[in-house]
């Protein structure tokens, strides 16, 4: 089983990925947690791809939507080959911190920002391209947090403010996730504003359990009896 966490910087993807991994491990489910950009230190090809993808601005890569999308797709293809596919074959549940919907949301955001048109047209193209990166998650969870709140959290975490241009782009990413969620039943929305991490975790488990088999947290199970 492959589970992906999606959302803006600051939405809590890493925290929720680790909470879910810990929960499944306690339930004796074999888990393989893949942090964002795992391939950077794993092999030479992954490192090379990430170096090509990198730029001074983490949200404005090369200014070319095709280049950015294809590089992001190549990075995930490498991650699938080196980590996801072997883990799934071994019977592990894989938790992916950012998956196919990250490729789609960031590229769609660029299209919305620079190439006005119908979001559906962009989504169709992005699905065709991102399909080359390997299997989509059995369930992807979008941790939905208002863009300005997510940006503020990320800026506090990183110790530096985001630029006005980055604010504007991430608002487009938030909008893009909304379009993707409306179009793709495999992307499940969990609203996290005002919730503590343990509350988000319970909401995530509930949302996932509606799609794939997953044990509920012990305290949650007892409260339902």
User: pTM of the entire structure?
Assistant: 0.87
Number of Cβ within 10 Å of residue 224's Cβ equals 6
Q: What is the pLDDT along the chain (225 residues), one digit of tens a residue?
A: 999 999 999 999 999 999 999 999 998 999 999 987 666 566 787 778 777 777 666 666 666 888 889 988 998 998 999 999 999 999 999 999 999 999 999 999 988 888 777 888 889 999 999 889 999 999 999 999 999 999 999 999 989 899 998 999 999 999 999 999 999 988 999 999 999 999 999 999 999 988 877 766 655 443 332
How high is the pLDDT of residue 40? Answer: 57
Longest Cα–Cα distance of the chain, Å, equals 54
Q: What is the pLDDT of residue 222?
A: 35
Tell me, what's the pLDDT at 221?
40
Do the strands 2-6 and 139-144 form a parallel or antiparallel pair, or are they unpaired?
Answer: parallel
pLDDT at position 53 is 75
Per-residue pLDDT, 35 = 86
pLDDT for the residue 225: 27
């Amino acid at each position: 089983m492959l589970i992906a966490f999606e959302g803006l910087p600051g939405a809590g993807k890493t925290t929720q990925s680790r909470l879910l991994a810990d929960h499944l491990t306690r339930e004796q489910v074999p888990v393989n947690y893949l942090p964002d950009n795992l391939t950077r230190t794993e092999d030479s090809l992954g490192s090379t791809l990430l170096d090509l993808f990198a730029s001074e601005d983490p949200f404005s890569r090369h200014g070319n939507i095709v280049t950015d999308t294809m590089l992001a797709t190549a990075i995930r293809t490498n991650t699938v080959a080196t980590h996801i596919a072997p883990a799934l074959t071994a019977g592990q549940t894989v938790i992916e911190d950012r998956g196919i919907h990250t490729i789609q949301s960031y590229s769609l955001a660029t299209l919305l920002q620079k190439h006005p048109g119908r979001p559906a047209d962009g989504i169709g193209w992005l699905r065709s391209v991102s399909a080359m990166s390997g299997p989509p998650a059995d369930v992807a969870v979008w941790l939905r947090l208002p863009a300005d709140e997510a940006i503020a959290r990320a800026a506090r975490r990183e110790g530096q403010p985001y630029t006005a241009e980055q604010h504007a782009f991430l608002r487009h990413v938030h909008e893009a996730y909304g379009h993707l969620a409306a179009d793709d039943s495999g992307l499940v929305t969990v609203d996290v504003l005002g919730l503590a991490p343990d509350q988000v975790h319970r909401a995530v488990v509930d949302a996932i359990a509606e799609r794939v088999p997953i044990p509920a947290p012990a305290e949650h199970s007892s409260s339902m009896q």
